[in-house]
Structure 1
């Protein structure tokens, strides 16, 4: 394998003022120094409404709330052929719920990802857990800076131990020096200096340390507490300098103005090291145990400073073996006592300094950069796209969690005595948009699907309503189906689209084969035959596909209908002609662009090929569906439907958004048809991934369905889910669920399958 050439670090970057910006910049610089042959750059996260004068090392920036920036960043990294991407993850620096926008970028990357988790929560919210799990899935390796992080990743998030690396927070490699010279330069001669540095915010516990100062001064009269750092920018934006002013007011109230110094500045590295050099004791009185990493602690420890700290996770590990002192959270008396003890015991203080400095030598940025480079190499050697394959000794069956129960409560709430409503406002049926034959035909398909074994059929009165809607949609004057009806039961047109006519024929064909009522089966077959003739003149490939799906069912119950058989061959030949006229080695499709319900075209050919014993139809369907799945699969292996914003574009990769349930449902059905056509277990895995899109395995890591009610959101926008839950969406989810439940039942009747082998998983 060729050596690493290019790596990119994603995170905040100086001159943005925060700990992640400092860490990202320091890590990038350390890698560049340790490996001069390796080109390293930063992809910088920019917080909302801010601009920064980034240095040349920042090759790309992402506005945290702009989903398109994440997509463009992925395109930039892929086009630049970076060997590895190193993500610096912290909650709050990425957009979306729990920072889910970063998943949009990760899912598109072609190279391995190494993620550094600066925070690992022991009690994450559901959204935080989902985002963390998706990031782990997308990463070849994950890095934490403390062994507690490894423990939490294993126990809370079930991350395999061999995927986790513990690399300490980096520190500057500076000589050990006594504080007197730096005190003289900074104007603190003859003082016992206590230091805290970093961005000020209430969780830092500065107020507790201020309350401890009077007790320290009673034992060490020359003590000075120096608070070095600007107020956190987010705090300044929300409430100005109220927090700092409150701290200063407390100092005045205690009468210790001459012993507490606030230096309101964001110190550069040289200034920071000078201030650490001059302190006698460093203190981190943080209030929250769940702090996995503290750069300020690491820097002070690395310069051999005695540290008094509350026992947050990082401090508990770093200050073991008498390398520092731990005190209870929020306990001003304990902090005061321990600091005074150190300031008045020079021998103990100096011994602690030497132990800390010696223990920190493995933490220098040079050593950290070497370890990261080794992890990058390891990640690249083990990186493979997660492609599911068959075993050499036969097809292996993919394993998947049992699909949810079939819940139709929400579906029933979307129906009235006319049929299924078209749209909803959130979860409330929207009467303003009435009904359409498209959705009621889909509802009739669902009624047929629920007549299968293991499912509870819809109430017969409801199936009758869908059938009645279809019957009423038939216009004998035009010999086509109307589509749109207002809430007042007035038809809004004399005829609908070719596609809606084709979809209605599909539903009628399935009803002729699978309806629970013998009388309705006869009705459906008769109306199908009546409505088929005019459809021969249609020009829409999707209408042809829908009709072929209906003919697959109708011809099974009317094998003597010569006309239907002729139409089936004619429509299949038209699709074959489209494919032959458009197909190229890199565009194996029927049209110049991708649009909606794409998978129905290959599905129609696959089913027709199997039913008519015409291998050319089957082969064309499999070939085109296999190509389509390359367009609908992210680099991380997740299903990504063709986005609606790309409809109409010619021979372009599909757009990512908006994503709609109808695409997932069509893909599930097509992939399962392909599996039945050639027996390749990979098709089952693809169907499972398409169904998992409903459950949250998608670009935004957002579940679209409520498994308790069976409702389904209308899709994914670039930055959020569409909260409306219309008729099409709920029927599409339930149709896909019915397919997956049928598959699960079939598996339960077979021998327990061998586990799926995932290359690179």
Structure 2
């Protein structure tokens, strides 16, 4: 039987990677006489664009935040001849919000699926619950490692009991002499306490340190070893702050000589030497919400003396006198318990023996056999056949997403407005419109892919917007390359686009610093909302307010500002609407999709059926004008389209295609009607050849987008506006593709 494994994998330093490596070996090398010749391969998850020197069994790597990689991986698996796929699930190892990038892969998987759940939340968010339910629906077998996990899956996630299997966490069959290990580490004269695993605040290590003074008073030879590196996510966010706090705590309690920090990620051989060398292993976690602990399983499995707080897995694993429990954060109870165990070595020895006997039944060969039996059972069923659903875009046919041209167009001031072919035209300087769109794009990009370069660019574009804001909250638009202002107040359109970008930032801020800076600029501009006259400026401002309100739904003052602007836009619609012309003006001009788009956003926030009706009706009219046989033909800005007149075919602009993409995306989100995704994809394909001239606007060499086309052909200049329109549309398609997978 051939297995495909999807998980993190060594040399990436990750507990799930170690688990997968052991599971891989236990299945392929299983010595059960019924099963010989099993084979398999690994699809490894890499994090934050880091690369690893993977072993030969890793045949493909998924970059955590690169959505396309997931789709390439499932194609590889489906064509690999694998009989079963085994997925290790933990929210944090997959890309997208709550790891949702794994869903399209699972939807397209054509072979049976076994999913091992390493975290099952008791109080999940709506997103976490829906993702978990969807994964369990697609799985042929769901594997958990505790009875509490089964209870949660049945009662919280409504997973059928017959689909769930309990396979306890495997333990490597590694044996050492405790005496030799203690001698190797020069611990013969010490009473050794040990905690290992990634270091982070939820581990409660301070509880043990606070317990030490009382223990040391009676047993001065006690040594507490904290073995493990700081968790990579913690290290990125706050560095070694927690480790430094622990060191200072030990010093302040005058037990620094009784605490050793080993900042290492050890291989299993060395790790088990420390386990055999210790007298008591401690997991002092701070709350009950841990459904599985590999470190605890290892300690029990080799017969260590174990003391723990009563988190879910520990309460089960340490039952029947296999260990001792103390309350969360209660260092006094811990010190009393440890002293009692040192005082009564026979009691500690009996506890170790109970753990050892239990551990004999959870070695990896036994766990591997359980997975083999489960795989044998599920392959008897008919294999999955997953067809591409109607309206679904195959992302693999798209060019790879790239910031190359954006990087070329951006300096430390902002993004250059125009280009000569693929080269920035410095003579034209910068404008607010493009820097606002650029901010929107990179925040979208960072939200979806966690690209560090996108975060760096966000600082530049937000800084430009801040620099261009006047004291009354309005914005200048144009800045020369020499950083001289070229106007006093920009157009209303540029104001609206800026509010759109700022609102999106507030609803999706990558961190608090961005949120606070964006909020200050946004609210400095709010007194100007009621002064707007241009309906496109009003529409963009409405969209920005709606994004802001998603992060602050109780801001009644802003809701009233939204209602005021929406009423203006709806009034324009009602005043110009006739039975054969359902539009906001007597002309269809530019940025047309933004007008229905604004009402679609407002309908979501205000839950107003009249607004929704105007949005859908005007969108359908624009569809009738521009989308023929599911091919987008944009109203050209040569003469536009006046009521009772002829519509212009040329010059067609990328920003209008972007507006259509965003409009249909929001229509799908509001209504869940999949026909809008089909229309959205058709509009995006305008950029890559499905247009009136049947030519590519996207330049595969420069990674930029051409500035549109007229009757004479394509305008080969690749300014900021056109490239940003393409990239924003691309990111919207990625998000819609993910949402489509969930809707299915």
TM-score (norm 2): 0.57
2:220 aligns with 221
Q: Deviations over 1:510-560 (max 9, x none)?
A: xxxxxxxxxxxxxxxxxxxxxxxxxxxxxxxxxxxxxxxxxxxxxxxxxxx
2:652 aligns with none
Q: Does the 8 Å contact 2:228/2:263 carry over to 1?
A: yes
Q: Give distance in 1, aligned partners of 2:329 and 2:170.
A: 28
2:290 aligns with 291
Shift of 1:717: 3.7
Write out aligned runs for 1:302-317 (5 A): 302-317=301-316
Q: Does the 8 Å contact 2:108/2:386 carry over to 1?
A: no
1:62 aligns with 62
Q: Does the 8 Å contact 2:101/2:738 carry over to 1?
A: no
* Residue correspondences, number: 474
> 1:377 is paired with a residue of what secondary structure?
helix
Q: Does the 8 Å contact 2:211/2:334 carry over to 1?
A: yes
Write out aligned runs for 1:231-242 (5 A): 231-242=230-241
2:498 aligns with none
> 2:93 is paired with a residue of what secondary structure?
coil
2:575 aligns with 417
Q: Give distance in 2, aligned partners of 1:73 and 1:353.
A: 45
Q: Deviations over 1:686-729 (max 9, x none)?
A: xxxxxxxxxxxxxxxxxxxxxxxxxxx999845424999xxxx9
1:322 aligns with 321
Q: Give distance in 2, aligned partners of 1:8 and 1:182.
A: 37
Q: Give distance in 1, aligned partners of 2:635 and 2:256.
A: 79
1:37 aligns with 37
Q: Give distance in 2, aligned partners of 1:468 and 1:179.
A: 76
2:165 aligns with 165
Q: Does the 8 Å contact 2:582/2:621 carry over to 1?
A: no
1:10 aligns with 6
1:95 aligns with 95
Over alpha carbons, which structure has the higher Rg?
A: 1
Q: Give distance in 1, aligned partners of 2:386 and 2:49.
A: 40
Q: Deviations over 1:59-98 (max 9, x none)?
A: 1110011000000000110111211111100011101111
Q: Deviations over 1:99-121 (max 9, x none)?
A: 10000111111101110000011
CA, structure 1 residues 467+316, in 2 after alignment: closer, same or farther (shift >3 Å)?
closer
Higher relative CO (Cα under 8 Å, sequence separation at least 6) belongs to 1
Q: Does the 8 Å contact 1:422/1:434 carry over to 2?
A: no
1:109 aligns with 109
Q: Does the 8 Å contact 2:582/2:618 carry over to 1?
A: no
Shift of 1:204: 0.7
Structure 1 position 49 matched with structure 2 position 49: yes
Q: Give distance in 1, aligned partners of 2:28 and 2:119.
A: 25
> 2:91 is paired with a residue of what secondary structure?
coil
Write out aligned runs for 1:16-415 (5 A): 16-34=12-30, 36-175=36-175, 179-385=178-384, 415=573
TM-score (norm 1): 0.56
> 2:165 is paired with a residue of what secondary structure?
strand
Shift of 1:36: 5.0
Q: Give distance in 1, aligned partners of 2:619 and 2:147.
A: 63
Structure 2: gaps (5+ residues) = 388-562, 601-607, 626-632, 650-663, 665-673, 691-727
Q: Give distance in 2, aligned partners of 1:722 and 1:267.
A: 40
Shift of 1:218: 2.3
Q: Does the 8 Å contact 1:140/1:383 carry over to 2?
A: no
Q: Does the 8 Å contact 2:26/2:364 carry over to 1?
A: yes
Structure 1: gaps (5+ residues) = 389-408, 424-429, 444-455, 474-480, 498-596, 598-631, 651-712, 730-735, 737-760
CA, structure 1 residues 94+191, in 2 after alignment: closer, same or farther (shift >3 Å)?
same
Q: Does the 8 Å contact 1:8/1:85 carry over to 2?
A: yes
Q: Does the 8 Å contact 2:42/2:57 carry over to 1?
A: yes
Write out aligned runs for 1:438-477 (5 A): none
Q: Does the 8 Å contact 1:171/1:363 carry over to 2?
A: yes
Q: Give distance in 1, aligned partners of 2:85 and 2:737.
A: 31
Query: 735, 740, 744: which one pairs with 1:720?
Result: 735
Q: Deviations over 1:362-389 (max 9, x none)?
A: 210000000011111222223544899x
CA, structure 1 residues 288+42, in 2 after alignment: closer, same or farther (shift >3 Å)?
farther
> 1:92 is paired with a residue of what secondary structure?
helix
Q: Give distance in 2, aligned partners of 1:24 and 1:212.
A: 35
Q: Does the 8 Å contact 1:46/1:64 carry over to 2?
A: yes
CA, structure 1 residues 482+213, in 2 after alignment: closer, same or farther (shift >3 Å)?
closer
Q: Give distance in 1, aligned partners of 2:82 and 2:139.
A: 15
CA, structure 1 residues 433+282, in 2 after alignment: closer, same or farther (shift >3 Å)?
same
Q: Does the 8 Å contact 1:43/1:60 carry over to 2?
A: yes
Q: Give distance in 2, aligned partners of 1:221 and 1:307.
A: 21
Q: Does the 8 Å contact 1:482/1:493 carry over to 2?
A: no
Q: Does the 8 Å contact 1:74/1:108 carry over to 2?
A: yes
